[in-house]
Amino acid sequence: MDCIFCKIVEGTIPSKKVFESEHVVAFHDIQPAAPVHVLIIPKKHIASINEVEAADREVLGEVLLAAPQIARQLGVAESGYRLINNCGSDGGQVVYHIHMHLLGGEKLGGLNVKPV
């Protein structure tokens, strides 16, 4: 499958991994938007949150459970952080392999809810 994040899971594209568990991998974003910017992804290819199924509940639970572990590991659990999922064109999704952005390490601006 021609998917950048599947290739990162396979290891054919390099990444700076910060976390790995049975169903999940997390790595530093290549273009960080904050001092800490990690992408948390399921190893399974799911295009977006629109495509999730009930059978994915364990995998998605593992994605969420990874967030506080990574935050503690990178020293932002106490200072705080933001988890973001972009879905589809209007949501700003560029890579169609579901992922959660974990952003922190500075006081983040308010959510931009207006069109760009």
Catalytic residues: 99
How far, in Å, CA of 75 to CA of 71, rounded?
6
Which window, 26-34, 53-61, 76-84, 93-101, contacts Zn ion (CB under 5 A)?
93-101
6 vs 77 by CB, closer to ligand 5GP: 6
Contact predicate 67/40, CB 8 Å: yes
- Could you say whether residue 31 binds ligand 5GP (CB under 6 A)? yes
In whole angstroms, what separates CA 33 from the centre of its chain? 13
Least distance from C-beta 48 to Zn ion, angstroms? 11
Q: Are β-strands 36-42 and 100-104 bridged in parallel, bridged antiparallel, or unpaired?
A: antiparallel
- Could you say whether residue 94 binds ligand 5GP (CB under 6 A)? yes
Which one among 25, 26, 27, 76 touches ligand 5GP, defined by CB under 6 A?
A: 27
How far, in Å, CA of 82 to CA of 38, rounded?
11
Of the candidates 47, 37, 52, the residue with the CA atom closest to the CA atom of residue 89: 47
3 binds, among Zn ion, ligand 5GP, none (CB under 5 to 8 A by kind): Zn ion
Binding site for Zn ion (CB under 5 A): 3, 5-6, 45, 97
